Each structure stands twice: as C-alpha cells, then as structure tokens.
Structure 1
C-alpha cells in the first residue's frame, strides 16, 4: 500500500485525527524527528509528539486513543521497547503504523499498517526510513488539514536520493581527511539545527558512542551559546551540520564562533551539495536532514577505517542481556 493510501485508509475509518506520535529508540528515534518537526511547524490543529519508546510506555500521553496515529520505527523490527509501544498504542485504540526493514518482524504484530524500507542497497537507501516517515507526516497533514507546498514536497522526493548518491561519490577525499584528523580525538562534539538537530544526536550516540566508543555529545546550534560554547578552545574537535533554509543563520553564528577560537571544525553543509538547485525553497528545511544523514555515513566509515575499529564492533549490544 502506498503511503498516501495508508493515510486515506485511516481517514476512511476515522474522519478526525487530533494527535500524531512518533516513537522509537536510538537511531530510529532520530529518523522520526524530521516528520515530527514538519508537523510541529506546519500543523495548526494536530498535536505532534516525539518519544523514546520506553518513555511512551511508562509515561503515556493521555491523548493517545482513537483520534491518534502512532508511528513506531525499528530497523530490524525487534527493539523490545518499540514493539511494546506498538502494542500499547493499539490497545488504546490508536491507528498504528510500523516502519521497519523487516516486514515479518515482531514490530508489525500489532500494527494496522506496515511500511518497509531499504537500507543496505546504497547510501541513499540508508535514509529511506527517515524519508518515508517524513512522507507519512506530509500525507497526514495534507489529508487532515491541507498542505499548500505538497506538490513541491513530492517533486523533492523524486530527486533527493539521486542528490545523495551523487554527493557520496565525490566525498571520499574529504571523509578520509576527517577520519585521519579525528581518529585519536578523545571527544567529538556534534552540532546541528532545525530538522537536522537529531541527525547530530544520532551521529553522536550511534556512530561515535556506540560504534566507535568515542566520547561525544550533541547539541542544537540554538543552545550552543547557552552553555556548551564555554568548552570551545583551539583544536577542540567539532562536527557542524549546516542547513539550507530557515535555520541557517543559527548554523552560521556557531561556525563563526568556532572559527574565532580555532576549534578543529569539520563542516558538512547542504549548500555544498547544491540542495537549493533541486528542492523548492518552501520545503527545503525538511530535506536537509535526509541529505546530511546520507553523506555522514561516508564520514563514519572512513573514521572507522582510520581507527581500525569496524562499525559493527560492540562491547555489550547483542552480546548480553541488559
């Protein structure tokens, strides 16, 4: 079933939807964020919530019910907390949509609708999960409230995967430089803004903390000057994600400060990949995280190679009960 057909099916059963919740863990939680961000910015009536799964389970929003859509997300579909969240949402009468790479996984057991996505096929496939969740959010808004920029968004969907694959082909020299420069860094701070805020978060907690065992923290560029900027000094490692669109002034202000004090700053900038050449201005904010997350994978791979520490290496995950 196409994504717009899923939302139309929900509308045929429930003409009024008042809330939408995005629920997942780790990288999947971060992949849900652009969809949440889109609704938070554009919806006039719909309430949008974004939860890590166990918080949803233990501190469930009172509004979850027959007038709610709950979108849960797990790459392999086996994350226990997210499986439980899907079942809980279903038991409360919500319309449940499970987004996963594995259509027969436990996540889908109590889902009314299942959305499957790619992952291993290419760099662009790795952001298919994020893109499909964002598209669900756009379809929800367009169906229940209307969305003037809908056609521009659909046009962008038809281009963004090619933009990512073209970008990653040219990135290798820059990514290798990043890997060599940061391979011995005791800590790496990751910054972003707008819809890309949780791309910074996921790179920090998943690619650096989980997969490389490098100390890391992430924060919004908007919060940078309200505490974190005090740790900036010469050669302190930072990774700054820069958007095209409405929050770029926040990114630029952060970059200016990092450069003023000679921090060791790597910038991944959507502008460098010509995003404005492909995506309409009124929807470009929502395509920044898709592009930036796609190209960041090349940086992570080259860091792993430089450190001789495969991205699949773990101390605890998959090796013990916790």
Structure 2
C-alpha cells in the first residue's frame, strides 16, 4: 500500500488521531527524523514524538493509545528493540505502520500496515525508507488537519529519486578526493542543521564509528558555538552537510568559522546538486536529507576503499550477544 491509501484507511477506523510517533534505532532512526521535523514545522494541532526504540520500550509515552499512530522502522525488520516497540504500541491501542525491507520480518508481522522499501538496486532505492516515512507524515497532516504544502510535497516525493541519481552520477571524483584527504584521520567531526541534522548523526555513529571504526563526534551546528567550536584548529577534520532551506544560515555561519581558523573541512551542499531543479523550493529543506544521504554514501564507499576497511566489516555487531 502507498502512504496516501494507508492513512485513508486508518482515518476510517481511527478518526481522532492526535499524535504521530516515530520509533527506530541507528540509521533507521535518523531516516525518521525529516518526517518528524516536517510535522513540528507544519502541524498546528497534531503532536509528534521521536524515540530511539528501547527508550520507547522502557519509558513509553502516556499518549501512546488509540489516538496515536506509531511509525516503526528497521531495514531488515528484525531489530529486537524496534520489534518490541511495535508490539508494545499495538498492545496500547496505537496503529502501527512498519517500514522495512523484508515483508516476512518480525517488524512486518507486528505492524497493522507495512511498507516494504527497496535498498540494493540503486542509491535512490536506499532512500525509499526516508521518502515514504516523510510522505506518511505529509498524509497524516493533510488528512487530519490540512497541509498548505501538500502539492509541493507530493511533487518532491515523486522527483527526489531523480535528483539523487543525478547527483551520484558525477560525485565520484570529489568522493575519491575526500577519501584520499581523510583516510588517515583518527577522528572526524560531522555537523548539519534542520531536517538534515540526523544525517550528520547517522554519518557519525554509523558510517564512521560503526563501519569504519573512526572516532567521531556530531552536533547540530546551531550548538557549535555553545561549546564544540573550542576544539577548532588548523587541520582538525570536519564534514559539514549544508541544507537548501531555512536553516542554511546556520550551516554558513559554522562554515565561516571553520574557514576562519583553517580547519580541515569538506562540505556537501544540497545546492551544489541542484536540488531545487527537482523539487519545489518551498519544500527543498525536507528533501535535502535524502539528496545529501545519497552523496554521503558515495563518499564513504570511497573512504572504505582507501582505508581497506569494507563498510560491512564489524567487530561486535551480529557476532556476540549484547
């Protein structure tokens, strides 16, 4: 089922939805964030909540009841914490929408509705999860409250994949340069803002800490000047992800400071890839995370090659009980 049809069906049986929760872990959690950000920016009455799955399990929100929709995400659909969260949400009366790559997974089995997304086929396919979650949020807002940006968001939903494939088609030279410049770094900091904040987060905790065993730190660049900027110095390595949207001025302020002190800085900028040529400028900020994620993936594939450390290599994950 498509997002519009799913929310239409939910509205027939649950006409009084008041809250939309987003639940996941790691990279899947970060892929929920643009949708939660969209809801906070545009909803007047509907409430939202954004949870890492196990915190949802240990400290579930009181408003998780039959007036709530819970969107739960896991790539393989077998993340234990997320499966448990979906089961708990249903027990509390909430409607659960499971987003996974595996229709036969435990997460799918614990959802009232399921969206099965692609992953392997292309760089754009890797962003189907994020795009579908965003569109579910758009449909919830539009059908329960009304959404002035609805047509523009549908336009973006339909055309963002073309933007991603266009961007990755010519980014390889700069990705190889990034890999050569950063392959020997022992720590890399990542920053962004707005809807792209959690792309910086997942780049730090997943691509660097998990997949490359490189020390990393992440911050919203609005917080950069409230502590983290004290470590800026020449040759301290940064990756800055710049949005095409309302918080771009925050990204630019951080970049100006990094350049002022000659920090070792790489910028991935949604505007450099012509995002607004594919989606309406009015909603570009909500699609910046998808375009930037596609480009970041190419960068880190090249970093893995340069470091002779495959992105699939693990020390602990899936290898022992934890």
TM-score category (smaller protein)? over 0.9
Q: Which residue of 1 aligns with 2:311?
A: 311
- 1:75-94 matches, cutoff 5 A: 75-94=75-94
Q: Which residue of 2 aligns with 1:132?
A: 132
- Distance (Å, rounded) in 2 between the aligned partners of 1:2 and 1:276: 25
- 1:278-317 matches, cutoff 5 A: 278-317=278-317
- Distance (Å, rounded) in 1 between the aligned partners of 2:252 and 2:22: 30
1:42-68: CA deviations, max 9, x gaps? Answer: 111111000000000000000000000
- Distance (Å, rounded) in 1 between the aligned partners of 2:9 and 2:15: 10
- Distance (Å, rounded) in 2 between the aligned partners of 1:97 and 1:144: 17
- 1:202-221 matches, cutoff 5 A: 202-221=202-221
- Distance (Å, rounded) in 2 between the aligned partners of 1:46 and 1:222: 26
- Distance (Å, rounded) in 2 between the aligned partners of 1:2 and 1:312: 31
Count residues in correspondence.
Answer: 322
- 1:184-263 matches, cutoff 5 A: 184-263=184-263
1:147-206: CA deviations, max 9, x gaps? Answer: 011111111122111111111010011000000110110100000000000000000000
Aligned 8 A contact 2:53 2:82 in 1: yes
Q: Which residue of 2 aligns with 1:122?
A: 122
- Distance (Å, rounded) in 2 between the aligned partners of 1:110 and 1:170: 41
Question: What RMSD, in angstroms, separates the aligned Cα atoms of the two structures?
Answer: 0.6
Aligned 8 A contact 2:162 2:278 in 1: no
1:265 equivalenced with 2:273 (yes/no): no
- Distance (Å, rounded) in 2 between the aligned partners of 1:69 and 1:172: 40
Q: Quote how far apart the aligned CAs of 1:81 are.
A: 0.3
- Distance (Å, rounded) in 2 between the aligned partners of 1:155 and 1:29: 25
Q: Secondary structure at the match of 1:114?
A: strand
Q: Which residue of 1 aligns with 2:33?
A: 33
Which structure 1 residue ranges, 4+ long, deviate > 3 Å from structure 2?
Answer: none
- Distance (Å, rounded) in 1 between the aligned partners of 2:25 and 2:2: 25
Q: Quote how far apart the aligned CAs of 1:281 are.
A: 2.1
Q: Which residue of 2 aligns with 1:154?
A: 154
Gaps of 5+ in 1: none
Q: Secondary structure at the match of 2:282?
A: coil
Q: Secondary structure at the match of 1:283?
A: helix
Structure 1 length normalisation: TM-score? 0.99
Q: Secondary structure at the match of 1:34?
A: helix
Q: Which residue of 1 aligns with 2:15?
A: 15
Q: Secondary structure at the match of 1:163?
A: helix
Q: Which residue of 1 aligns with 2:165?
A: 165
Q: Secondary structure at the match of 1:317?
A: coil
Q: Which residue of 2 aligns with 1:73?
A: 73
- Distance (Å, rounded) in 1 between the aligned partners of 2:68 and 2:284: 28
Q: Which residue of 1 aligns with 2:100?
A: 100
